[in-house]
Structure 1
């Protein structure tokens, strides 16, 4: 019996200059802000920020992830899915992936992060270079069931340090936009 390949929706991630649909100005600014999202969320939450891990482990990466990391389809990689929370609310769903070989040779053990922010680690290590930000409307089927909603904006970028590449995707949940609308403007 042949193992069936998982079916993933076709997804096109776009850099700012190639956008067809332009988000509202505040959304656009948050999606393409080049600094640490962790630091922005910490400021927005008045230091009431935390990370809630949902899943960490080895699994086949999605086709769009393999393409972004220059890997063959169905490559196995480390997957880390978390919620970034402010004031106890889920503000962002984040999914970070890296190839098995690159992680093993790159000296970074993502499995030891626990409730620490991967973003903070990447921005504190000056050896990591960040690639361009890309955005899309994130597929509802890729979100955790409690937050599955159509038309949520997501962004991603690839951080590299030598041969090690970590692809970080962040999906902005409606609770974040409400927090921003309620007078917070970081």
Structure 2
């Protein structure tokens, strides 16, 4: 097992997460940040060509900030992807899938280039915890694309599939609000 590097993954765990009601968000931001259905499906419905770029898929010890949310220590698969709409990066997504969840729901361990949202939103026992949002300093994000805005909005929540948790964070590029 590797120890987690100080990267975007670490920064997102430490971000100042808040309830959406505590923030002043523009209507376009609310529309995306508070979307309760699949972001993948929403992106696909608004573009000619959808693409997922895999950035990371590696096991790490479950970081301390996630222990309480994901019930139990152990290893977790860190999965980082970029979602593209017509060759424009729209969403960076980070998922923490505990080894116990991958064992119980084995297809999660074999997603490859399939978006996580396509799988979990079809799962009959899907439950979602509250959505929290944060404004992120782009200087702290290490993504393989140019970030021209000083800040970006993100959201996070915990999903349960038949009582097996996973943690998802999505960071929205400014272009997504024009879709």
TM-score range, shorter chain: 0.7 to 0.9
TM-score (norm 1): 0.79
Kept in 2: contact 1:22–1:28 (CA 8 A): no
Q: Deviations over 1:91-128 (max 9, x none)?
A: 10000112122322x12343421111110111011211
Structure 2 residue runs of 5 or longer lacking an equivalent are none
> Cα–Cα, structure 1 residues 28 and 63, in superposed 2: closer, same or farther, change >3 Å?
farther
Q: Name the structure 1 match of 2:50.
A: 49
Q: Name the structure 2 match of 1:117.
A: 115
Structure 1 residue runs of 5 or longer lacking an equivalent are none
Which of 125, 129, 132 pairs up with 1:134? 132
Whichever structure has more strand as a proportion of its residues is: 2
Which of 12, 19, 40 pairs up with 2:16? 12
Count of matched residue positions in the alignment of Structure 1 and Structure 2: 170
Q: Name the structure 1 match of 2:65.
A: 64
CA RMSD of aligned residues (A): 2.4
Secondary structure in 1 aligned to 2:30?
Answer: helix
Q: State the structure with more CA Rg.
A: 1
Kept in 2: contact 1:79–1:95 (CA 8 A): yes
> Cα–Cα, structure 1 residues 114 and 43, in superposed 2: closer, same or farther, change >3 Å?
same
Partners of 1:56 and 1:5 lie apart in 2 by 12
Kept in 2: contact 1:137–1:151 (CA 8 A): yes
Partners of 1:67 and 1:138 lie apart in 2 by 23
> Cα–Cα, structure 1 residues 151 and 64, in superposed 2: closer, same or farther, change >3 Å?
farther
Alpha-carbon offset, residue 71 of structure 1: 4.0
Secondary structure in 2 aligned to 1:146?
Answer: coil
Partners of 1:171 and 1:114 lie apart in 2 by 20
Secondary structure in 2 aligned to 1:103?
Answer: helix
Partners of 2:4 and 2:158 lie apart in 1 by 25
TM-score (norm 2): 0.82
Q: Name the structure 1 match of 2:168.
A: 168
Secondary structure in 1 aligned to 2:91?
Answer: strand
Kept in 2: contact 1:36–1:120 (CA 8 A): yes
Partners of 1:139 and 1:98 lie apart in 2 by 25
